[in-house]
Amino acid sequence: MAAAGAVGAITEYPIGITGSAPAAVAQNFSSGGMWFTDPGTNAIGWMKPDHTVVEYPIPTAHAAPSVIETGSGDNVWFAESNAPKLGHTDSSGTITEYPVPDVVISLFPAPSDGSNAALWALTRSGTILKVAANGTYQTMPAVPVGNGSAIVIAPGVTVNILVLRSGVSVSDLDGMFY
C-alpha cells in the first residue's frame, strides 16, 4: 500500500554478485543505467539499462571505492578510501588509477566553463584538487577548517564551490578557484 500522496513506485533489482555491497551511485548519462562503487568486491559496477550488472575490478587490492561521479561522455570517476588514488573507467571496463596527495572524500564534475577540469575533489585533509581529464591535478589551498572537518564539496549556484563542514557550516569559496 502506498503512502498518502506518494507518486510512483520503488523497484529493486538484485546485483547478483556474491559479496557485493554497493556504496555510492551515479547516473550513466551517455550509455544509460547507473554506475556504483562496490567496496564489497573492490570493483566499480555498471547496471545497464536492461538491469544486467557488470563489475570491473579495481587494480589496487582493498581499495574500498567510496564516492563516484560521472564525467564527460561515458567516463565515470571514483575515489579509493583505502588509498590516495582517483580512478576512472567507462563502459569498456578499463580502469585507470591516478595517485593524489591524500584520500579523496568528495567529488563533483567541473562545469563546462573552459577551465579544462574534469572534476573537483576534496581530500580528507581539506585540500581541493582541480583534476584534468588525463588525471593530472592542480592543488588548491586547503579549505579553512575552523571548528569542523570539510566533508563534502559541491558546485555553487554561480562559479563557486561550496564546502560543508561537519555540523558546523557551509563555506562559499566564491571565485577562489576559477
Q: Which of 10, 89, 16 is nearest to 47 (CA)?
A: 16
Query: For the chain, which domains are there?
Result: 24-172 (2.130.10.10)
Cell of 11: 523497484
Residues 152/160, Cβ–Cβ less than 8 Å: no
Residues 71/133, Cβ–Cβ less than 8 Å: yes
Predicted TM-score (pTM) of this structure: 0.79
pLDDT in tens, the chain (178 residues): 456 667 888 888 888 899 999 998 988 777 788 999 999 999 999 999 999 999 999 999 999 999 998 877 778 899 999 999 999 998 889 999 999 998 888 787 766 555 556 788 888 877 888 888 888 998 876 665 555 555 566 555 444 555 554 554 444 454 444 4
